[in-house]
Every structure is written in C-alpha cells, then in structure tokens.
C-alpha cells in the first residue's frame, strides 16, 4: 500500500496504490477535459476522468482461476447463469486496490459497468489496465476527483450520469486509516481522516442520489469496519469515522427507502490487503488466533458481500451493517 505521511502521525491512505500497468485509452469525455487539479493528485493529469474502457466481462462460462495477488480465491462456475448486476452502472471509490479493487472486479464479473474512482490518474489507469488485461470484454473506466472537494465530486457524478443516463450503484469505499497515539493527535490529522472517510462519503452520496431519485431506484453501499463496533487502541479518528459511516448508513436508509433507494454498509474484519501483508508475522499470528475461523479474510470474500447487497437478492434489505469478519471480536 502506498503511504502518504502526515506530520506526527502514521497515516495510510487506503484509496491509493499501484497495480501492474498498462495504457488506458481515453474517450471523448476525457478529451473534453474536467478543468483543474486538486491537492494530493497529479496536477499534470489532463482530466480527472479516464476513458470508458471495455474491460473484461466474464461470460458465465468456464472457470475462474485463483488470484492470489488480490486475494479473490478459487471458484468455478459451469454453464451459463444470469449475471446479478447485468448492465448496472456502478461507481466504486477507492477502487484501485485492496477491497475496492476486489469489488470492482466482482461487479464486472457480474455484468456491471463500473466507474473506478482513485486518488490519482496513474493509479486509476493502472487499475483499469490490469482489469482490461484480465477481463477483456467488461466495461470499466476511471476517474480521480478529490472526494474532499464537493464541486469536483458533483461535476464527476453529473458527467457519469449524463454519459450513461443513470447511476444504479454507489460504493463508498475510499478512506484512510492511521494509528497515531491520542497524545500526539492534532486537529489537522483528525480533520484529514474525517474529510475523506465521512465527508467524502457524504459528497459522493449527494452526487449519486439525484440520479437515483429520478429513476426511482438505486443502491448505496458504504465500507465500515469492525472497529466501528469495538474501537481500537490508537488512531482515534478512524473508528470515530466508521461509527459515523454506520450512523450515516442507517439514517440515509430510512430517508431514502420511500424513494426506492437501499442503503447498507459492509464492515470487514482483518482482511489480507497490502497493508496487512506488511505486518510482521509475529504480530499477525496472535490476531489470527483470536478469529474463530482461524484465518484472516480475503478481499474477494468481502467483495461477494457487496455483490449480494447490490443485487436483487437483497431487494428487501436496507439499513444493515453486514459484518464480514470471521467472528473476529476485539
């Protein structure tokens, strides 16, 4: 995981990171250009929108091999079957790596067209290229607006809606995690975590909901965490932000249910992402021992929970925070 340092803290940005590279072909929406960069992004990038990329859709035949890099695991599907998200337009923030990347990949395999949101142009393009190499028939494209900037988010969602005619699914996955002791905490650090983890989610929902209201249906899924139930011994802003995600999910679910919009959250436990792979084995082993299933989770296992909640199989489920944690408890 690519880390971005904040003075006096140990902060890791979950929404960024690199994947095997390739070239991303640009569409007309890119050539038109979205003006202006934003802090923390590649200001040399011509536009926070990358092209629509027909990128690999799985056709329901054959088998899927293990993907150890992304932790998807092995599963086989024989014969044809109905795709759970066929032709749905989905936006996934923090989609260039980890759980977000696994969600994008799983959505594509279920027939969705996915707009992948990353923090920088290069990470968006790399993720799109990686997906194109693996899944040549699916449809995915990348954007990189600053989620902390409401105007950039509004512009991005308006363009997505205008180009596709609708927005069916929003996955708010982008976030930052850090472990600064409370005595060293600053207001700036607290604001930084809350600006992305909470305000970024709020801005994206504000961008997507008007399109969902017009069509009379939609799904919003937010990434919470097991620490939203138990807290954690350092990095106080992160569990605070995930408590806020849960409250936002339940409140918005109540408000939007009469409009045909379902709102749920997924709370992962200890998942084998790049950040976890960097943890020494002697530190990780005791954590695994506390999990009744006896192992850490894989991003693909979490992604399947997002697929279920986004699909019609969950048509009567809203206002739920679904734990995917192997019964891990603090």
| Token pair 């990434």: residue | 223
Identify the H or E element spanning 203. helix 201-215
CB 148 within 8 A of CB 44: no
Positions of E strands within the chain: 11-13, 49-54, 63-64, 75-76, 89-93, 113-117, 139-143, 169-172, 176-178, 218-223, 261-268, 321-324
Q: Could you give the C-alpha distances from 161 to 57, 81, 146, 170, 318, in angstroms and in order? A: 21, 29, 18, 12, 23
Which residue out of 101, 185, 238, 316 is catalytically annotated?
238
Q: What is the spatial distance between Cα 275 and Cα 297, in angstroms, rounded to a whole number?
A: 13
Question: Parallel, antiparallel, or unpaired for β 49-54 and 139-143?
Answer: antiparallel
Tell me, yes or no, if 230 is annotated catalytic.
Answer: no
Residues in the chain, how many? 330
The CA-based dihedral angle spanning residues 54, 58, 62, 63, taken in that order and rounded to the nearest 10 degrees = 110
Q: Active-site residues: which are they?
A: 238
């Amino acid at each position: 995981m690519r880390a971005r340092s904040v003075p006096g803290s140990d902060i890791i940005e979950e929404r960024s990171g690199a994947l095997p590279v390739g070239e991303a072909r640009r569409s007309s929406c890119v050539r038109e250009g979205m003006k202006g960069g934003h802090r923390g992004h590649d200001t040399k990038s011509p536009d926070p929108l990358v092209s629509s990329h027909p990128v690999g859709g799985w056709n329901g035949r054959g088998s899927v091999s293990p993907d150890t890099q992304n932790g998807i695991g092995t599963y086989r599907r024989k014969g044809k079957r109905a795709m759970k998200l066929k032709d749905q337009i989905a936006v996934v923030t923090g989609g260039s790596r980890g759980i977000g990347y696994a969600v994008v990949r799983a959505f594509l395999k279920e027939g969705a067209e996915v707009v992948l949101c990353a923090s920088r142009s290069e990470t968006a393009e790399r993720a799109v290229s990686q997906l194109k190499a693996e899944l040549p028939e699916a449809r995915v494209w990348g954007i990189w607006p600053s989620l902390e900037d409401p105007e950039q988010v509004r512009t991005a969602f308006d363009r997505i809606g205008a180009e596709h005619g609708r927005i069916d699914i929003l996955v708010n996955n982008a976030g930052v995690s850090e472990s600064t002791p409370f005595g060293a905490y600053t207001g700036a650090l607290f604001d930084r975590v809350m600006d992305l983890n909470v305000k970024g989610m709020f801005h994206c929902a504000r961008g997507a909901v008007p399109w969902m209201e017009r069509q009379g249906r939609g799904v919003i899924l937010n990434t919470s965490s097991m620490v939203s139930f138990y807290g954690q011994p350092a990095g106080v802003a992160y569990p605070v932000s995930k408590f806020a995600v849960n409250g936002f999910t339940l409140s918005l679910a109540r408000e939007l249910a009469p409009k045909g919009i379902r709102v749920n959250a997924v709370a992962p436990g200890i998942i084998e992402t790049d950040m976890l792979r960097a943890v020494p084995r002697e530190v990780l082993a005791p954590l695994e021992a506390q999990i009744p299933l006896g192992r850490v989770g894989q991003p693909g296992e979490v992604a399947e929970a997002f697929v279920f909640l986004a699909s019609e199989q969950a048509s009567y489920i809203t206002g739920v925070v679904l734990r995917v944690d192997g019964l891990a408890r603090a």
